[in-house]
Amino acid sequence: MSTLFTLIGIAVGAILTYLFTRSHEHEKHYRLLQTAAYSDYLRCVAESSHLSLQSDEADLFARAADAKTRICLYGSQDVIALLAAFEREGGIIGNAQQREAFVRLVQVMRVSSTAQISDLEVILFGGNG
């Protein structure tokens, strides 16, 4: 009888280990997709301020559209709301309102959003703002 309980315990342990591992791998994969979408979008915004050729612009818009689509699929509710707010401001960093919207977006995209907005502004735009 104790052998039966041992075998049941081993089977239950193996099943639970499989399920937890699978769940963890799914979360990890989802987080990687989310992070890639966020970083690709932020890269496109940064590159948009350095455009020089029309062909560069078309490629950049295509990459930005792809990143935004992936954010719609994998992004958190807060990121999607702040991305929409940034896009309503024009989706570029040209004035103080756009900069503020962009910094809020970056702050929420961070896994740990404990960074101060003033610190992010210095890093993203330099000490003089």
Dump the DSSP string for 88-99: HTTSS--SHHHH
Task: Output the pLDDT for position 129.
Answer: 47
Please state the rounded mean pLDDT for residues 44-63.
78
Per-residue pLDDT for 53 more than 70? Answer: no
C-beta neighbour count of 68 within 10 angstroms? 20
> Each residue of 77-112: pLDDT tens digit?
999 999 999 999 998 888 889 989 999 999 889 876
Domain span at 38: 2-125
Which pLDDT band holds residue 56 (cuts at 50, 70, 90)? confident
Please state the rounded mean pLDDT for residues 42-70.
82
SS3 129: coil
Which pLDDT band holds residue 116 (cuts at 50, 70, 90)? confident
Q: Please, what is the angle between helix 54-74 and helix 2-48, to 10°?
A: 150
Number of domains within the chain: 1
CA distance 72 to 87: 13
Per-residue pLDDT for 66 more than 70? Answer: yes
